[in-house]
């Protein structure tokens, strides 16, 4: 690492200084210069955190649940970081656990780190940045990292793949359990939570989800996991603080199961592989774009392709080796990593 500022930041981060963590997270989130070198320096530590995901539709009570879980973890003496990726509602809560704990208590607790991810740039970029922020929080030493995401789009699936255990939160008014299955939720859920169980319809949703789980079990495997695990269906009322201890237990159970069966190692390996592929792809894409932007042959070629005198395939057959050659030639001036 050549940049002395990055070096100082990395040292402060390793010393456990909170401002350094906050700065590192901002650099990574904003894809600022130096972020890559910083990650390269800081992420050479064994992952240890429990990475717990909470996903579901907007307004389902994910943030309230996350805050409740954080409060329970704190009561057990454990530190916890929360990353919220929810453009529809920034992480800010009112009364929690039936008013016994307020958001402010968490916000001023040094054992809690809360971060809302900004949604600038592409959603794909957001997923990548979120994964890296989770890695940073793990490297900083948080034993628990809660990740809140909204919905079940591609970005959420990508973020879900960055955590070890996923709780899918539904509410009575969000429709029936069969709809959840259609939305692909059955595939990613390790735990189902029916929140707002203080409202009518909760028991029906619990029943529907249980039935859907049963149908899925009849079809053989689910979730892509090689460990038998029937996602439990839990009832909570986050606002009243009911059922949150059960949710924490379910998370801890699931995590224990992953650890004991070596599935956690497999998931980490899969994540590492995806990460390598993503970074290589994005670097190649960037190189190609830079090369094309500076290549004086391109206007002539595009005219040829447009007029049918050449094809894009023929042009690419010339360009790709040139781009790779150019990349190889500039390699000597860049550090390969590892120091």
Q: Per the structure block, which two tokens stand in for 172?
A: 């009575």
In the complex, minimum distance from the CB of residue 248 to ligand GDP, in angstroms, rounded to a whole number: 16
Segment lying near Mg ion (by CB under 5 A), choices 62-70, 108-116, 273-281, 299-307: 62-70
Evaluated on CA atoms 254, 153, 79, 266, the torsion sign reads: positive
- Kindly state whether residue 116 participates in binding ligand GDP, applying the rule CB under 6 A: no
Sign of CA dihedral 203, 204, 210, 214: positive
Q: Which of 149, 171, 169 lies closest to 82 in space, CA to CA?
A: 149
Q: Decide if residue 119 touches ligand GDP (CB under 6 A).
A: no
Residue 61 interacting with ligand GDP (CB under 6 A): yes
Nearer to Mg ion, 55 or 197 (CB): 55
The one segment of 20-28, 107-115, 235-243, 321-329 that binds ligand GDP by CB under 6 A? 235-243
* Smaller CB separation from ligand GDP, 232 or 243: 243
Residue 196 in the binding site for ligand GDP (CB under 6 A): yes
Q: In what order do the strands lie in the sheet with 165-170?
A: 112-116, 80-85, 144-150, 50-56, 165-170, 191-194, 233-235
Q: Is 198 in the site for ligand GDP (CB under 6 A)?
A: yes
94 binds ligand GDP (CB under 6 A): yes
Which of Mg ion, ligand GDP, none lies near 60, with the C-beta cut-off 5 to 8 A by kind?
ligand GDP
SS (H, E, C) 166-223: EEEEECHHHCCHHHHHHCCHHHHCCEEEECCCCCCCHHHHHHHHHHHHHHHHHCCCCC
Cβ closer to ligand GDP: 144 or 195? Answer: 195
Q: Which two tokens stand for residue 187?
A: 């595939």
Regarding 89 and contact with Mg ion (CB under 5 A), the answer is: yes
Is residue 62 near ligand GDP by the rule CB under 6 A? yes
Residue nearest ligand GDP, Cβ-based: 61
> Which of 146, 142, 206, 154 has the alpha carbon at shortest distance from 180?
206
């Amino acid at each position: 690492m050549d940049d002395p500022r990055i070096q100082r930041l990395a040292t402060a981060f390793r010393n456990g200084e909170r401002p350094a963590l906050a700065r590192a997270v901002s650099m990574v989130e904003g894809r600022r210069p130096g972020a890559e070198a910083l990650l390269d320096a800081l992420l050479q530590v064994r992952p240890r955190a429990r990475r717990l995901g909470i996903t579901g539709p907007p307004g389902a009570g994910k943030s309230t649940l996350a805050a409740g879980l954080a409060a329970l973890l704190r009561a057990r003496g454990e530190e916890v970081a929360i990353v919220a990726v929810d453009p529809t509602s920034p992480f800010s809560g009112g009364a929690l656990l039936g008013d016994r704990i307020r958001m402010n208590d968490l916000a001023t607790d040094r054992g809690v780190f809360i971060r809302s991810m900004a949604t600038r740039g592409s959603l794909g970029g957001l997923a990548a940045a979120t994964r890296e922020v989770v890695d940073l929080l793990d490297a900083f030493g948080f034993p628990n990292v809660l990740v809140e995401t909204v919905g079940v789009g591609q970005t959420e699936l990508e973020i879900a793949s960055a955590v070890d255990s996923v709780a899918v939160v539904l509410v009575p008014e969000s429709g029936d359990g069969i709809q959840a299955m259609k939305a692909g939720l059955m595939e990613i859920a390790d735990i189902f939570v029916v929140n707002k169980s203080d409202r009518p319809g909760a028991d029906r949703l619990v029943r529907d989800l249980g039935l859907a789980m049963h149908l899925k079990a009849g079809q053989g495997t689910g979730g892509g996991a090689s460990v038998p695990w029937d996602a439990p269906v839990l009832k909570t009322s986050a606002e009243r603080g009911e059922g949150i201890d059960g949710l924490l237990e379910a998370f801890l159970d699931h995590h224990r199961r992953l650890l004991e069966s070596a599935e956690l190692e497999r998931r980490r390996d899969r994540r590492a592989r995806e990460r390598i592929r993503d970074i290589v792809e994005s670097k190649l894409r960037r190189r190609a774009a830079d090369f094309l932007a500076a290549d004086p042959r391109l206007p002539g070629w595009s005219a040829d392709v447009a007029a049918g005198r050449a094809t894009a395939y023929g042009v690419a057959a010339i360009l790709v080796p040139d781009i790779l050659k150019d990349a190889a030639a500039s390699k000597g001036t860049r550090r390969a990593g590892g120091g």
